[in-house]
Amino acid sequence: MSVTIQQIELYKLSIPLIEPFITSLGTDYDAENVLVRIRTKEGITGFGECSPYMPINGESQDTCMVVGELFARALIGHNALDIEGAVKLMDSIIYANGSIKSAFDIALYDIASQHAGLPLYQFIGGKNDKTIITDYTVSLAEPDVMAAQAVRILAEGYPAIKVKLGKDGKKDVIRIKAIREAVGPEIPLRIDANQGWGVEEAIETLKALSAFDIQHCEEPIARWNYLSLPRVKKESPIPIMADECCGDDHDAERLIALDACDYFNIKLGKSGGIFKALKMARMAEAAGLHLQVGAMIESRLAMTAFAHFALSSPNIVHFDFDTALMLREDPVTGGIVYKANGVVEVPEVVGLGATISEEWLGKWEKVVVA
């Protein structure tokens, strides 16, 4: 069976954030994403989206548009159901660039699952048998400001608070102390240093933070220094989650061999999409590692793909899907629904189940390849 790609459109999806989002890597004021729409001769249309971030995946909205056009020209006439072939083709055209590859990958999975008459999660072998509940993130700031953010998140009913750290380990301890005192002892705290600490600083800081009941720590040291991550894991009283150093399945294989972490944080924008992320999940299952599915600053469209993927493995136990709630506008029709207390409801319709209307698409700069 063949479903032939006839036309591909790329759009600059740009939406301001409600307030600046601050990490140790920088400050974001807008979601500057790329939307991919793939049309087939058979009338099936698939949507995909990515949120490139230069400090993490080395891509920007502009580079994604340029590279995406190269992919589009190569994929015209390709069988949209041959996702593995499309992934190999994109990899042969350019190294890395996982963000824009993920947008194409998601759109292809949307088409393939529609063609199969199945919800995306079911098409990839998943079951809608668990409740997805997102945490909510406190941006990096002064301790009193972060504590106030945490109190607001607690009041909104989220079951866990994620805290951005990585700017001076000693001050990070003060930040967490202020937050824990403000929110009390019950709600779980998760921390993300975004590569901000040195090795010795990380070990010292993690030991100091153990008094505050921290659930896990994402990426404590520089991604390139992954050979030191096993030592950090061994000496840390807090479980370690690999994020930036765990991009695709090759990275996952290496980290497992090194016994470098307790968790992976899988992001489709790092893995290059669902195809490679599924390989990572199977590796984690075999190694007995639990997983988080995370996000950059995608809209609900890509976030819906993340939620479908999150149903693909019982080892996926944490969900970081809050950033779509940080956008000033929501251009998405259908898709996941954010319920009370952080609960995320996945659509029970065929395919991805999320689209963007022509009215919204008409507002954005685009490239069409046919």
Please tell me which residue in 172, 218, 249, 298 is annotated as part of the active site: 218
Write down the pLDDT at residue 192: 98
By three-state DSSP, how is residue 85 classified? helix
pLDDT of residue 348: 97
User: Cα(281)–Cα(278) distance, rounded to whole angstroms?
Assistant: 5
Model pLDDT, residue 368? 98
Q: What is the DSSP string of 160-227?
A: -EEEE--S-HHHHHHHHHHHHHHH-SSS-EEEE-TT-S-HHHHHHHHHHHGGG-EEEEE--S-GGGGG
pLDDT surpassing 90 at residue 1: no
d(C-alpha 314, C-alpha 318), whole Å: 11
Q: Which of 32, 49, 243, 251 is catalytic?
A: 243
- Which residue among 101, 162, 267, 276 is the active-site one? 267
d(CA 247, CA 143): 31
Active site residue 135: no
CA separation, residue 290 to residues 87, 128, 171, 216, 264 (Å): 26, 18, 30, 12, 7
Q: What is the mean pLDDT of residues 43-52?
A: 98
- For 95, the token pair is 């190294």
Pairing state between β 5-23 and 26-40: antiparallel
**pLDDT, position 59:** 98
Annotated catalytic, 88? Answer: no
Kindly name the residue from 28, 49, 192, 298 that is annotated as catalytic. Answer: 192
- Pairing label, strands 5-23, 343-345: unpaired
- pLDDT at residue 57 above 90? yes
Q: Is 177 labeled as catalytic in the residue annotation?
A: no
Would you call 267 a catalytic residue per the annotation? yes
Q: Distance of CA 346 to CAs 107, 133, 179, 199, 353, Å?
A: 17, 11, 31, 39, 9
Residue 218 catalytic? yes
Which among 59, 135, 162, 164 is annotated as catalytic? Answer: 164
Any bridge partners for residue 7, and if so which?
Answer: 39
pLDDT digits (tens, 9 = 90+) for 307-326: 999 999 999 999 999 999 99
* pLDDT given for residue 257 in this prediction: 98
Note the pLDDT tens digit of each residue in 200-242.
999 999 999 999 999 999 999 999 999 999 999 999 999 999 9
Structural domains of the chain ordered from first start: 5-117+357-369 (3.30.390.10), 122-354 (3.20.20.120)
pLDDT greater than 90 at residue 169: yes
Share the mean pLDDT of the chain.
98
Q: What is the pLDDT of residues 251-287, one digit of tens each?
A: 999 999 999 999 999 999 999 999 999 999 999 999 9
